[in-house]
């Protein structure tokens, strides 16, 4: 598959809007007043980004989801994953219990975040579709991205979407794709946490989400 350098602004706007709306869902889940903001959203070269990670042994927690023509990977450092689990389970939960429940908590947090972005994309495109079940992976960042790319080679060309004008876009018709990284900061009275969401989208998503009038 062939990466593209320029992502349509309307597509980036839909992603940012989804992140903004996910904060209320996270707050309801945790009973915390939290603020989630996009500190940066940009395209990137997966190959170049991956190349700078080869020597890093640090293990990260990640959760990935697929949609027709797309893949999302929410990525958390181990300390940030533990802090989020502590806040969303219940601040002060016994460490042994927290450790056992952290993967499930991170999966649910990621589900709320990514689902809001996917809903925003669907609304912008005028179509509905299902998000896959979460797949949790703990590994180095380089290996997580390698696995994500292998998965995307399959799901990135599967399925179709019906757009506002009634036309169907079949993702098998394109082998080009966008690579987007979303840097997020979540803050609440008891924690500041950062995370990354890597997004791989078939280039036909650029046609599915129309430009603003």
Tens digit of pLDDT for each residue in 7-44? 889 999 998 888 888 766 676 665 555 666 667 787 87
User: Given pLDDT bands bounded at 50, 70 and 90, which one contains residue 191?
Assistant: low
Helix, strand, or coil here: 204? coil
The continuous run of DSSP H or E covering 193 comes out as strand 191-202
pLDDT score at 41: 81
The continuous run of DSSP H or E covering 75 comes out as strand 70-77
List helix spans (H) across the chain.
9-30, 46-51, 78-89, 95-125, 141-155, 205-208
Domains of the chain plus CATH, in order, are 2-208 (3.40.1550.10)
| Torsion angles phi and psi, residue 5, rounded to 5 | -85, -30
| Torsion angles phi and psi, residue 139, rounded to 5 | -170, 180
Q: How would you class 60 by CB atoms within 10 Å of its CB: exposed for 0-12, middle for 13-18, buried for 19 or more? A: buried
Question: Would the pTM count as exceeding 0.85?
Answer: yes
pLDDT score at 5: 80
Answer whether residue 165 shows pLDDT above 60: yes
Average pLDDT over all residues of the chain: 81
């Amino acid at each position: 598959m062939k990466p593209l350098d320029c992502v349509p602004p309307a597509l980036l706007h839909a992603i940012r809007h989804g992140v903004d709306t996910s904060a209320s869902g996270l707050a309801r889940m945790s009973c915390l007043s939290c603020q989630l903001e996009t500190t940066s959203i940009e395209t990137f070269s997966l190959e170049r980004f991956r190349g700078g990670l080869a020597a890093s042994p640090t293990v990260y927690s990640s959760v990935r989801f697929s949609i027709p023509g797309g893949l999302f990977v929410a990525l958390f450092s181990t300390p940030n994953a533990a802090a989020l689990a502590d806040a969303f389970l219940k601040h002060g939960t016994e460490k042994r219990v927290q450790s056992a429940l952290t993967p499930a908590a991170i999966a649910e947090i990621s589900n709320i975040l990514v689902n809001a972005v996917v809903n925003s994309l669907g609304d912008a495109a005028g179509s509905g579709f299902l998000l896959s079940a979460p797949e949790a992976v703990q590994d180095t960042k380089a290996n997580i991205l390698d696995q994500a790319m292998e998965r995307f080679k399959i799901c990135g060309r599967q399925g179709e979407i019906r757009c506002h004008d009634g036309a169907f876009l079949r993702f098998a018709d394109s082998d080009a794709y966008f690579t987007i990284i979303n840097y997020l900061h979540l803050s609440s009275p008891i924690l500041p946490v950062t995370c990354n969401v890597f997004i791989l989208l078939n280039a036909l998503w650029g046609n599915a989400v129309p430009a603003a009038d």
